Amino acid sequence: MESLPWPKGQKLVHLDLKGAPPRVEYLHKLIDLFSQLGVNGLLVEYEDMFPYEGELKLLQATTHSSYSREEVLSLQEAAKSKGMEVIPLIQTFGHMEFVLKHRTMCHLREVAHCVGTLNPHKEDGVKLVMEMLRQVVELHPDLHTLHIGADEVYMLGEGEESKLWLASPGQTVEQLFLIHVAKVAKAIKEAWPQMHIIMWDDMMRGMSQDTLNDSGLIRLVEPMLWDYTPNLDVEKTVSLLEKYCSAGMVDVWAASSFKGSTSVHTCVPNTHRHVENHRQWLKVAASVSATVKLKGIALTGWQRYDHLSVLCELIPVALPSLVTCLQLLTDGQFNADTQRKVTEKLGISSVEVENMERRSQGRTLAHLIVDLNSFLNSEDVRYFEKNMFVRGWFSPYHQHRKMVSPLITMQIHRQASTYLTVLQQKVEAVREEMVHFYPDSTVQEWFEEHVSPVLIPLQRIRDDITVLNLWITKSFRFFQGL
């Protein structure tokens, strides 16, 4: 079954720009690479990197510059020259953190403490969404398809207006969700009648076929069913796709993952994990009935779990995973020949990024990140505060009473200093490469999130011992209190 390649249709690569937005020059290089691998579309999640104007200008990123209008157009031209469609992904219900975090927008939240979910009862919310979409459509002159998000609409039904609405007999949270999405979809169709509309499917998975039949979404939206796990349940997924089809949503999409779905803070992807996810999707594609029109698959590469979370794996370090998954979809299987094609295409020695050699620029950065990540996660370095000597002879009790063994603290100081020297060398090497791909603010954020949690404790121990040794040297009171 899995020996069949992915059926004809679109292969989209997802560019999640809400974190670590690549420099435009690097995006153009990626488009060249994607075109050689059978990719015929980009699912671009702009978020705060889109150059919103007027009253929406406050949505633009503040830690770095959003892409300019010229850069957005150049991205489309580069994609078009390679036969790729650009599909913007604009959140319209859940995951609107980058919008609703602003003080002037916070009144549009479903509940005050949930920054991501729009209040479905406020007409100003729909007006806001439509103005966002209008600006995006205007800057995409050849646009045929929009993705309106609508996944993970947390806390829906918990707002006061929703509670009042739900108090009426027969009204449910499911209906509340469907009414808002239908309102947005109908407004899009009124403004742009030929526009195709994709949406995430997860909020509809538990709905009955009757509920879907009465949803008002039939022939309006195309569900994109996402599952990023290596043990994806094929039978359940096929059943879901066929349920949507039976409800009248004949055009459906799949969404897999090549990075950004292992854990919220993963730094280096595991290619095997993502390969297994795509193998399962191949089984799904081979198992669905002929009535299901599987229009394509989006290989998602999340850069953050949401707007307010830390950075996941960067694109350069995830390229072996992405290229391997694309090759798997083309070949229909993962074997030695598949791996050979990938390693030759990228000029690397292994599809697992931990094992690949340093050759070209992007893979030099990947290798340096892997090397740094390995050092940061070594037990001796990451848990230095918990080693026998620090816990046994330099505990808070010892430090507070200044009753330490100079012999052992000198040993701790020497080891901490050695680790810091090595760490700083590795950090500088990564920094020098990373600035070629990402803005300075991204580089700084990446180091604060991935390096500082290890760096700061090492510096603190080294500096505390230095200060304490100076005090001991001056006072000659080596064992006060014993």
The one-letter amino acid at 162: S
The span from the first CA to the last CA of the chain, in angstroms, equals 74
| Active site annotation includes 45 | no
The DSSP line for 206-260 is: TS-HHHHHTSS-TTT-EEEEE---TT--HHHHHHHHHHHHHTT--EEEEEEEEES
Question: Is the same domain home to 274 and 390?
Answer: no
Higher per-residue confidence, 251 vs 477: 251
For residue 302, give the 3-state DSSP assignment: coil
CA dist 188 and 195 (Å) reads 8
pLDDT of res. 336: 92
The residues near 150 (Cβ < 8 Å, ≥ 6 apart) are 91, 92, 93, 94, 177, 181, 199, 200, 203
| pLDDT over 50 (residue 481) | no
Question: Is the same domain home to 78 and 161?
Answer: yes
**Residue 299, H or E segment:** strand 293-301
Query: Does 1 fall in a domain?
Result: no
| pLDDT over 70 (residue 212) | yes
| pLDDT over 50 (residue 454) | yes
pLDDT of res. 231: 97
| pLDDT over 50 (residue 94) | yes
The residues near 341 (Cβ < 8 Å, ≥ 6 apart) are 327, 331
| pLDDT over 50 (residue 478) | no
Across residues 23-35, what is the average pLDDT?
96
The one-letter amino acid at 99: V
Question: Is the same domain home to 261 and 386?
Answer: no
Question: Is the same domain home to 252 and 181?
Answer: yes
**Burial class of residue 431 (count of CB atoms within 10 Å of its CB; 0-12, 13-18, 19+):** middle
404 within 8 A of 464, measured Cβ to Cβ: no
CA dist 94 and 300 (Å) reads 18
For residue 310, give the 3-state DSSP assignment: coil
Question: Is the same domain home to 204 and 341?
Answer: yes
Question: Is the same domain home to 95 and 212?
Answer: yes
Among 355, 386, 401, residue at a domain's last position = 355
Question: Is the same domain home to 253 and 385?
Answer: no
Per cent of the chain over pLDDT 90 is: 79
pLDDT of res. 243: 95
Query: Does 360 fall in a domain?
Result: no
Which of the four pLDDT bands, split at 50, 70 and 90, describes residue 356? low
Among 289, 323, 355, residue at a domain's last position = 355
| pLDDT over 90 (residue 347) | no
| pLDDT over 80 (residue 261) | yes
Question: Is the same domain home to 229 and 378?
Answer: no
| pLDDT over 90 (residue 38) | yes
The one-letter amino acid at 29: K
Torsion of CA 277, 279, 281, 284, to 10 degrees: -140
Query: Does 5 fall in a domain?
Result: no
The DSSP line for 149-180 is: -----TTTT-SHHHHHHHTSTT--HHHHHHHH
Among 355, 384, 416, residue at a domain's last position = 355
| pLDDT over 90 (residue 392) | no
Across residues 333-345, what is the average pLDDT?
91
pLDDT of res. 383: 85
Higher per-residue confidence, 388 vs 363: 388
| pLDDT over 70 (residue 358) | no
Query: Does 236 fall in a domain?
Result: yes
176 within 8 A of 119, measured Cβ to Cβ: no
| pLDDT over 90 (residue 245) | yes
For residue 294, give the 3-state DSSP assignment: strand
Query: Does 295 fall in a domain?
Result: yes
| pLDDT over 60 (residue 303) | yes
Question: Is the same domain home to 308 and 184?
Answer: yes
| pLDDT over 90 (residue 393) | no
Residue whose entry in the numeric block shows the structure tokens 């011992």? 465
**Residue 271, H or E segment:** helix 271-287
For residue 118, give the 3-state DSSP assignment: strand
**Residue 25, H or E segment:** helix 24-35
The pair of three-digit structure tokens given for residue 46, joined into one six-digit string? 């702009």
Based on the structure, what is the number of domains in the chain?
2
| pLDDT over 60 (residue 298) | yes
pLDDT of res. 482: 47
Which of the four pLDDT bands, split at 50, 70 and 90, describes residue 148? very high
pLDDT of res. 480: 47
Residue whose entry in the numeric block shows the structure tokens 């957005």? 72
Which CATH number covers residue 320?
3.20.20.80
247 within 8 A of 217, measured Cβ to Cβ: no
Question: Is the same domain home to 295 and 385?
Answer: no
CA dist 312 and 145 (Å) reads 27
Helices (H), 67-204: 69-81, 97-100, 123-138, 160-166, 173-191
Across residues 197-223, what is the average pLDDT?
95
Query: Does 50 fall in a domain?
Result: yes
Domain of 151 in residue numbering reads as 10-355
The one-letter amino acid at 114: C
**Does the pTM exceed 0.85?**
yes
pLDDT of res. 471: 65
Question: Is the same domain home to 256 and 195?
Answer: yes
| CB count in 10 Å sphere of residue 47 | 26
| pLDDT over 50 (residue 1) | no
pLDDT of res. 103: 96
Query: Does 3 fall in a domain?
Result: no
Which of the four pLDDT bands, split at 50, 70 and 90, describes residue 475? low
pLDDT digits 0-9 by tens, 127-138: 999 999 999 999
Across residues 386-412, what is the average pLDDT?
81
| pLDDT over 70 (residue 474) | no
User: Helices 69-81 and 24-35 sit at what angle, rounded to 10 degrees?
Assistant: 20
| pLDDT over 90 (residue 271) | yes
Catalytic residue among 152, 354, 448, 449: 152
Which of the four pLDDT bands, split at 50, 70 and 90, describes residue 476? very low
Q: What's the mean per-residue pLDDT of the chain? A: 92
Query: Does 313 fall in a domain?
Result: yes
Torsion of CA 123, 156, 214, 146, to 10 degrees: 70
Question: Is the same domain home to 197 and 346?
Answer: yes
The one-letter amino acid at 308: L
**Burial class of residue 169 (count of CB atoms within 10 Å of its CB; 0-12, 13-18, 19+):** exposed
CA dist 449 and 431 (Å) reads 14
